[in-house]
Structure 1
Amino acid sequence: MIYEFCTNTDPGLARENNEDSVTFDGPARLGILADGMGGYNAGEIASGMATTFIKSEMGRWLSQAGKHANAKEVRRALEICVENANRSIFNAANSNPQYTGMGTTLVVGVFQDSRLMLGHIGDSRCYRLRGDEFAQITKDHSLLQEQMDAGLITPEQAATSMNKNLVTRALGVEDTVLLEINEHRVEPGDIYLMCSDGLSDMVNDPGIAQILVASMPLSQKAVQLIQTANANGGRDNISVLLAQASMGSQKRGLISRLLGN
């Protein structure tokens, strides 16, 4: 399986600074997105620490040992890496009064051939487009989600709730954090979207799906998602990471034909 990655981020229309951070390591097939919170500029410190640390540490492990690692090994490596990132952010917050209380959401994905190992903390999301089927494949760690799970409110009520941004889990806020990890099967043609709530709060699922199914380059889809969020109000920072899977067999088939195999 071959993967194409692209990212885009924008402060939106209501905020001067951007507390989101998003990055990827193409050779390692690693994507990371974080939405920071807390204090003056502290949110962008937390999110930047998270993406930089995880890209460096997880990317190094994947390049050295992870290419043929099994699911259990990748899962454990992700857990350790995120635990270390959490401790670094927590320690920075506690040693610098300016950063007190800072934290960040996290979505991190390791793509290995036909497998995605996906971890997340907080309410930043990952969606998947497979053919015409569009689905959210992460479940928010938020007060709203807990209220919906308990049957206290409906999804329609949640969409207009004042409690939208109350997360129940964040990286760097406490000395330990629980990373939720799920394994997903990848099919050729799949498009995966990681995003901060600046997108998902401004553009509904049908609107996101309409852009992803459109016939345009992946990078243009990322631009279009952000432009649509801003057109709908742009009340928060907006970040997206797109990963598209395709089969690499065509290239190998050509080589085989040239070799007479």
Structure 2
Amino acid sequence: MSISFMVGPHRVRFAGKTDIGRVRAQNEDNVLVPKEMALAVVSDGMGGHASGEVASRITVETIDQYYRDTARSGPNTWPMKLPNLEVERQRMAVAIQLANSNIFETAAADGSKKGMGCTVDAMYFSQGRFYIGHVGDSRVYRIRGSQIQALTEDHSFLNDFLRMKEMSSDEGINLPHKNVVVRALGLNEQVHVDVIHDEFKVGDLFLICSDGLSGMLTDPQMREISTATNSLDNACNELIKSANDAGGNDNISAILIRVEKP
């Protein structure tokens, strides 16, 4: 069931769902659909033997707890001279870096979890802006009017190769290992986090998803399904169903977020 929060003069509504898909033996995705603040997370685990589920669960729980803790601690948590924009940028980056450390340390202490990792997209709304923390190949889209725009860029071998060779995506479609993730949480002691921010406005619709969704449906298909109903819960259900109907080759996670009038 969807939940909404007042963010300044706006209402921001969230709904989300995760599904095992039709091929995988377990669901290694984890999602955070918020209960206390305007924060949502999608994390796609990798590592096999259920270790991917452990990594993604650590990520979701760590980010959630960090935002709760820093919300309670108030202004003293941050240098007083920093503007709110920089405070929230740092807050997002630190939350994800802490998740990375927790995964890395858990794997180091338990040989059965060696090599586990996960992607993450976390999104927080505050004072007229959204903040995205991004590592890996899960994605965040913004749907505004008839347009859908990817706000994140996949950390994949294909994207790195295309940038290096200045090739088009059509030219790289047959590239071997194109879907290999080149940046993820838990693989190293440190990780670089992309932090993206922008202003939002009434009517904006955001989709956070794992590649089990974006890999099965085109961007126009996701836009059409997401906007076909006023119910975010129904739209999430239909996104999952459509990805499964297309093959369901991976775990599927989707969170929809809509900015509404109060």
TM-score calculated relative to the size of structure 2 = 0.89
Percent of aligned pairs with the same amino acid? 33
Matched, 1:21 2:15: no
Matched, 1:41 2:55: no
Aligned partner of 1:62: which letter?
A
Distance in 1 (alpha carbons) for counterparts of 2:55 and 2:195: 21
Match of 1:87 among 101, 107, 114: 101
Distance in 2 (alpha carbons) for counterparts of 1:60 and 1:132: 38
Aligned partner of 1:46: which letter?
A
Matched, 1:128 2:137: no
Conserved in 2, the CA contact under 8 Å of 1:39 and 1:98? no
Aligned partner of 1:33: which letter?
V
Q: What's the CA shift for 1:24?
A: 2.7
Distance in 2 (alpha carbons) for counterparts of 1:235 and 1:161: 20
Conserved in 2, the CA contact under 8 Å of 1:198 and 1:235? yes
Secondary structure of the corresponding residue to residue 189 of structure 2: coil
| TM-superposition CA deviations, 1:57-104 (whole Å, max 9, x none) | 1133235537xx811111112222222211110011111011000000
Matched, 1:236 2:250: yes
Structure 2 match to 1:51: 60
Question: Would you say how many aligned residue pairs link Structure 1 and Structure 2?
Answer: 246
Distance in 1 (alpha carbons) for counterparts of 2:154 and 2:198: 17
Distance in 2 (alpha carbons) for counterparts of 1:160 and 1:245: 39
Structure 1 match to 2:21: 12
Match of 1:104 among 115, 118, 136: 118
Query: Pairwise mapping of residues 1-261 of structure 1 onto structure 2 (< 5 A)?
Result: 1-62=10-71, 64-65=73-74, 70-151=84-165, 153-159=167-173, 161-248=175-262
Aligned partner of 1:237: which letter?
N
Q: What's the CA shift for 1:140?
A: 0.7
Conserved in 1, the CA contact under 8 Å of 2:92 and 2:132? no
Distance in 2 (alpha carbons) for counterparts of 1:237 and 1:168: 20
Conserved in 1, the CA contact under 8 Å of 2:227 and 2:235? no
Distance in 2 (alpha carbons) for counterparts of 1:35 and 1:86: 13
Distance in 1 (alpha carbons) for counterparts of 2:94 and 2:196: 16
Secondary structure of the corresponding residue to residue 223 of structure 2: helix
Secondary structure of the corresponding residue to residue 156 of structure 1: coil
Structure 2 match to 1:258: none
After the TM superposition, which of the residue ranges 69-78 and 101-110 deviates more from structure 2?
69-78
CA shift in 2, pair 1:162/1:20, >3 Å: farther
Structure 1 match to 2:7: none
Structure 2 match to 1:259: none
| TM-superposition CA deviations, 1:152-195 (whole Å, max 9, x none) | 54323555655243111101110000010011110101111000
Query: Over aligned residues, Cα RMSD in angstroms?
Result: 1.7
Conserved in 2, the CA contact under 8 Å of 1:197 and 1:238? yes
Structure 2 match to 1:252: none
Conserved in 2, the CA contact under 8 Å of 1:86 and 1:171? yes
Conserved in 1, the CA contact under 8 Å of 2:143 and 2:223? yes
Consecutive unaligned residues in structure 2, runs of 5 or more: 1-9, 76-82
Secondary structure of the corresponding residue to residue 240 of structure 2: helix
Conserved in 1, the CA contact under 8 Å of 2:144 and 2:205? yes
CA shift in 2, pair 1:46/1:71, >3 Å: same
Structure 2 match to 1:257: none
Q: What's the CA shift for 1:27?
A: 3.3
